[in-house]
Amino acid sequence: MVSENTREIAEKAVKTSDICIKTSLSGITLDNPVIPASGTFGFGYEFAEFYDINVLGSIALKGTTRDARYGNPLPRIAECTAGLINSVGLQNPGVDAVVREELPKLKKCFFKPAIANISGFCVEDYVYCAERLDKEEQIGLLEINISCPNVHGGGMSFGTDPKSAYEVTKAVKAVASKPVYIKLTPNVTSIAQIAKACEDGGADGISLINTLLGMRVDLKTRRPVIANKAGGFSGRAILPVALRMVYEAYEAVKLPIIGMGGIASAEDVIEMMLAGATAVEVGAQNLVDPYACKDIIEALPATMRKYGINNLCDIIGGAHK
């Protein structure tokens, strides 16, 4: 006798058999385009307590630096309308500990290629981390973060200058055998100029956008809420900015784009892909709802059918036509 649960699964498979939600990043096939963004999903295995994380397209691991970092002083988080401001400051155990301890934990519960997110304070930092993580079987591609607004002397300082973006990209590509995607900051005058510099440096793709700069002031103390004064503003409020920048980057370069910034629904995924993204990352919404990515993936087939879409790959950059 067929159980109700089995029958439901079979019926769901029939209903979605005509819908393709697969996509591909530099030769790596993803079952779907939804990827938890770095910094909002830990090293992945923490969320395996909530659901089978193998439903995800991939996972962008927590930002990793050459040496261990405690991060910025507390408080680091401030709530705001339709989003939040964070100034965590790349807290992580350092690349050697990530390879030794974090990746083996992830391997036990996630069986797809993961995305290593790398940050640094000089070109040599990026190169060192890229060399270490490029050798790891679990890592499918490297996401080079030249856009973190919460550290001094590195991160975003590389992403606001085309020459520096080019130099970091070229140096990492010289030591990496796996695809290299450069994560860009929105805190620039021309996102197209930075994207083009990364392309010229040999990047295989780009990711955007990282957080905007923002702050809150406590009315009682009359002081900034965050100890670092300002931090990265993320959440649903920044989706229009992210869409505009992905659209501009798509027109400027011939590279695959991982789009992110304010994504919280299947509709947002489709909108971002129409703007030019090949895949998407979901960030702040994971902090609001640990099931966010799973729910978005499950909603994609019905949402695609609603808008007459059979294959997600067919709509990439569709808003430009």
Query: Could you list the active site residues?
Result: 148
Terminal-to-terminal C-alpha distance of the chain: 51
Integer CA distances (angstroms), 68 to 85, 159, 246, 247, 284, in order: 23, 22, 32, 36, 24
**Residue indicated by tokens 């392309």:** 199
> What type of residue sits at position 244?
R
Compute, in degrees rounded to 10, the torsion defined by CA atoms 171, 210, 45, 33: -90
**Collapsed DSSP state (helix, strand, coil) of residue 280:** strand
For residues 103 and 135, the answer to whether their CB atoms sit within 8 Å is no
Handedness of CA 56, 40, 286, 187 (dihedral sign): negative
**Residue indicated by tokens 């002397």:** 153
Handedness of CA 175, 180, 182, 183 (dihedral sign): negative
For residues 149 and 156, the answer to whether their CB atoms sit within 8 Å is yes
CB atoms within 10 A of CB 308: 6
**Collapsed DSSP state (helix, strand, coil) of residue 291:** coil
Question: Which of 269, 282, 251 has its CA nearest to residue 315?
Answer: 269
> What type of residue sits at position 209?
I
- Token pair, residue 206, equals 């780009």
